[in-house]
Amino acid sequence: MRLENKVAVITGAASGMGKAIALLFAQEGAKVVVSDIAQASAQLTVDDILAQGGEAVAIATNVTQEEQVQLLIQTAVEHYGTLDILVNNAGIMDNFVPAADVTDELWEKVFAINTTGTMRTVRQALPIFTEKQSGIIINIASAGGLNGSRAGAAYTASKHAVVGLTKNIGFQYAPLGIRCNAIAPGGVATNIGTTISEPNPFGMERAMIGMGLNPRNGQPEDIAKVALFLASEDASFVNGTVIVADAGWTAY
């Protein structure tokens, strides 16, 4: 029970890595706020947690909307009394669109969810963490946030920005008892592919060129275990950094 009585907010927790993190955190004793734009699917995650004897509540949240992000954090505190852990998992892909073809609309949509949404939840959580002199932030970045061609231009830039934001927060707020780290997954079997509709042929060909080097795809539970480590006291000396979880893909 490494997270006993801790309160965790997890965005994008209706499926994939977010759901796996929510389930594992609940098994380890956390009270989980399952946040997702899809209320019904978020409730299914809650139902699974409750069936296992855990505590959880679902809150529908569109992280591109400031007022909904504010409501998410406020509701979590009202429901459970505090906030201890924030996991920013909500994200979308970008159809592998390369720089020459990216539109303002696509760029802004990807950044609104992947980067600005992360900033907004952090902005709401930090005053709570600062007051209690403790708090943990875990951002789900990507191998695409550390390398140049795992997706299109917008996704790549958005995840690089998440890495920079993570390092900035981790260092600046360390004296206040707050830790901020990121996980950079490689290929993981989730439904983020459903956010790809009409992939750009050139961009996809360039992004897929290294897939043959991937030792294997991971499962959402593989990433959840890394998140549990970062959320626990086992990682008390880990701050402002990125843990790559990709079976060695980017080590080549």
Q: Report residue 229's pLDDT band, with 50, 70 and 90 as the boundaries.
A: very high
Cα–Cα distance, 233 to 80 (Å, whole number): 21
Q: Beta strands 85-88 and 7-10: pairing type?
A: parallel
Residues with catalytic function: 155
Residue 41 has pLDDT above 90, yes or no: yes
**Domain residue spans in the chain?**
7-251
Q: What topology does CATH give the domain 7-251?
A: Rossmann fold (3.40.50)
Question: What integer pLDDT is reported at residue 189 of this predicted model?
Answer: 87
Interval 65-124: pLDDT, tens? 999 999 999 999 999 999 999 999 999 999 999 999 999 999 999 999 999 999 999 999
24: which 2 tokens? Answer: 């594992």
Cα–Cα distance, 1 to 5 (Å, whole number): 9
Q: Is 149 exposed, middle or buried (0-12, 13-18, 19+ CB in 10 A)?
A: middle
pTM of the predicted model as reported, rounded to 2 decimal places? 0.96
